[in-house]
Amino acid sequence: MTHIMVPVKLVPDLVEELEIADSGTALDMTWLRLIINEFDDHAIEQAILLKERSGGEVTVIAPDQEGMDDVLFTAAAKGADRIIKLIGDFEEGTNNHALARAFADAAKDAGPDLILTGVQGNDDLDGSVGPYLAEYLGMTYVGYVAGLSLEGDKAIVQKEYPGGLIAEMEVSLPAVLGIQAAEEPPRYVAVSKVRQMMKEASIDEVDAGDLDTSGGLEVSSMYLPEAAERAEMLEGDEEEIAAKLVEIFKEIGVM
């Protein structure tokens, strides 16, 4: 039976304004709203789709961060068989090297055949989690995957290139795949199902020990981009603006 592990993390929710901490080298965590990395959400969906199609077992694993219990119970409601929370000093954020080491330690015990994780996260500064995890576990890594099937001890993956080109690759398992998009958009689970899961399922807690952040990078400064030079806004009602646009079209020579 294929055992699929899905490591997920939270990232800053870009709906909110981001602020820089007093240190000038990190995000201000007090104002940060965190949400599941959308690529990780696709990785969960892809794992569940595989399980539904060809059986297997899905484990979702995540660092202990505020709001993570909801993410894990939601994954359980979608069909994850096991949900694991890594206990450690994650609250203030850590780098992806450290996170990948913590995932790798847990994966060594669980022994998955396949690891699916988001190909990137919006706050990745020292690379993304997937490749590190693969290397720490001695597994192969292929990223930008948008669909896969399992054939024995191989995965046949669709890897996305720019311009819509797909490379179909055969990957020997065990492997880590960086998911760009699941074959179907992540499904909706009714809140009542998640609430039910909170009563029925339990989160396994695994001690991550002290985090090893080595190999990460030293940021010397972090800042908000200068307000870009904004567009010249055309004034007037729709009719007047339409007339102005026609003038601009003529000016730039497309009419």
Partner 1 sequence: MNNDIYVVIEHVREQVADISYIMLAAARDLAQETGGEVVGILLGQDADGLAGDLAADKVLYGEDPALAEFTSDAYQNALAGLIRENAPRAVFFGSTTIGTDVAGVLSARLGLPLVSSCLKIDDGMIVSQICGGKIMTESNLADTTTLITMIPGGYKPEEGQGGSPEVTPVAVDVADLRVALKEYIEPEVADVDITQEDVLIAIGRGIQTEDNIELAEELAELLGGAVCASRPVVDQGWLPTPRMVGKSGQLVKPKLYLALGISGAPEHVEGMAEAENIIAVNIDPGAPIFDIAKYGAEVDLFDLIDYLLEALEDA
Partner 2 sequence: MAANEVSHSPSFTKTFYESLFDVTDGDNLKSCLQCANCSGVCPFGYLMDFPPGRMIAWMRAGIFDEVLETDSVWMCVSCYACTEVCPKNIPLTPGLMTRTKEEMLLAGNVPTELQSALEFSQRYGNPLGESPRKRAEWAKDLQPEVPIMRKAKRPVDVLWFVGDYPSYHPRVLQTTKALYNILNALGIDYGILGPEENSDGDTQRLAGERGLFEVLAEKNGKAFSRYDFKEIVTTDPHAYNAIKNEYPELGIEYSVKHYTEFLAERLDDLKPLLKGNGEVKVTYHDPCYLGRANKVYDQPRALLEAIPGVELVEMPHNRTTSLCCGGGGGGMWLDGFQWEKAHVRLSEWRVREAVTAGADVLAVACPYEPPRFEDAAKMVEGAGNLAVKDVVELLAEAMED
Question: Within positions 76 to 105, which residues make up the interface with partner 1, using CB under 8 A?
Answer: 97, 100
CB of 192 to partner 2, least distance (A): 3
Question: Within positions 207 to 246, which residues make up the interface with partner 1, using CB under 8 A?
Answer: 215-225, 227-234, 237-239, 241-243, 245-246
Among 243, 253, 248, smallest CA distance to 232 is for: 248
Question: Within positions 75 to 104, which residues make up the interface with partner 2, using CB under 8 A?
Answer: 78-79
C-alpha triplet 12, 94, 216: angle, nearest 5°: 115
The encoded tokens of residue 81 equal: 């068989």
Among 189, 204, 213, 215, binds partner 2 (CB under 8 A): 189
26 binds partner 2 (CB under 8 A): no
10 Å Cβ neighbour count for 55?
A: 10
Per-position x/- string for 145-184, each x denoting binding to partner 2 as judged by CB under 8 A, each - no binding: ----------------------------------------
Per DSSP, which regions of 34-165 are E strands?
Answer: 34-36, 57-63, 82-87, 114-118, 140-151, 154-160
User: From the list partner 1, partner 2, none, which binds 193 (C-beta under 5 to 8 Å, kind-based)?
Assistant: partner 2
165 binds partner 1 (CB under 8 A): yes
Instruction: Report whether 179 contacts 46 (CB < 8 A).
Output: yes
CB of 247 to partner 1, least distance (A): 10
Among 64, 81, 160, 212, binds partner 1 (CB under 8 A): 160
CA 116 to each of CA 34, 113, 211: distance values in angstroms, whole numbers, following the listed order: 21, 10, 22
